[in-house]
Amino acid sequence: MQAFTAKLIAWQQAHGRHGLPWQNTRDPYAIWVSEIMLQQTQVATVIPYYQRFMARFPTLADLAAATEEDVLALWSGLGYYSRGRNLHRAALQVMECHDGAFPRDPSLIAELPGIGRSTAAAIAAFAFGRRLAILDGNVKRVLTRCFGIAGHPGDRAVENALWRQAEALLPESGIEAYTQGLMDLGATLCTRSRPRCAECPMSDLCFARRENRVRDFPGPKPRKALPEKATAMALLVCDGEIYLEKRPPTGIWGGLWSLPELPVGAPPEKSAAERYGVVVKSCQPLPGFTHTFSHFRLHIAPWLMAVRPGGKRAAEPGGLWLNLEEIRGAALPAPVKKLIADIQEKP
């Protein structure tokens, strides 16, 4: 145990990452934002989003004072939008329940929306030097390989074993370098595919390397076929504006603006006319595409319709017409934003 911990701290200090935008600070707000963005997202993807986000909301108070729409607009394209909504909700909660001061107690941090045990521990370690174990995806991979912990990490028994291992390894001092070292090791050397075992400081301690079973750890998730779903989307264009609807606050693309969806298989121009009170002047299909979420695959059939107002102009609660310049700054799902951009580029 001590050999693992000592090697990891020494390796991180010599070879780990030290120049990321959220490092070299004790500001819990900056650390918190980075930890939320890094959930299920690679560092290279996060960096430009993080920099834009912090430039727009440099303090927790600035984030709390913003609208959810402002937050999601900056989150557009980063995915897993519930993270952005929870970040905003948590900022409001800190202002209301903690007088605007980010809590130092890990149990209170974990009570904030979107923060679990591992994220709370990481924030407390980096911001306040608290001696706490983390267990994100990279850490799970490192521990299963080094200590031969078999099974899928998502299984409760395996996860409990990983938590016990993570807590047993905690150093008496140097928690920041140790915690960062676990993250760095999993992200740069002990990767999911093509791990660089020859460069790893744990190569002489690693069970998987010693047994030539690196590919066996961590154990695979039981495979299930992704459900297939389909929808039709309408690009209603009227006088240079496109109609958008606000998605429900929960579910896919929650809280974002998106194109209205029509019943699959029904005549799209008839559905649009009945639902939105427009007269459809022309209707043409656009190339369909598929967007894969973590839990299902969505097949999208878009329809481009030139319309004019009919008995009523589409202005339902939660809907609005925007011109292309306004759409650029709106909080749209990435595939919808790309679809609209592609239409704009067509002659």
Catalytic residues: 35
CA-nearest of 70, 87, 64, 36 to 331 is 70
Q: Which residues contact 174 (CB under 8 A, 6 or more apart)?
A: 9
CA–CA gap between residue 166 and residue 9 (Å, rounded):
15
Token couple for 238: 């009227």
Q: Which residues contact 88 (CB under 8 A, 6 or more apart)?
A: 63, 64, 66, 68, 71
CA–CA gap between residue 160 and residue 43 (Å, rounded):
27
CA–CA gap between residue 78 and residue 84 (Å, rounded):
9
DSSP β-bridge partners for residue 105: none
Other beta carbons within 10 Å of 15: 15
DSSP β-bridge partners for residue 323: 241
Token couple for 128: 């306040």
Token couple for 181: 């070292």
Residue type, 65: A
Q: What angle do CA 323, 327, 330 make, to 5 degrees?
A: 140
Q: Phi, psi (5° rounding) for residue 2? A: -65, -35
End-to-end CA distance of the chain: 65
Q: Which residues contact 123 (CB under 8 A, 6 or more apart)?
A: 28, 31, 32, 35, 109, 115
Q: Do β-strands 228-238 and 241-246 pair in parallel, antiparallel, or remain unpaired?
A: antiparallel
Token pair 């993250």 is found at: 183
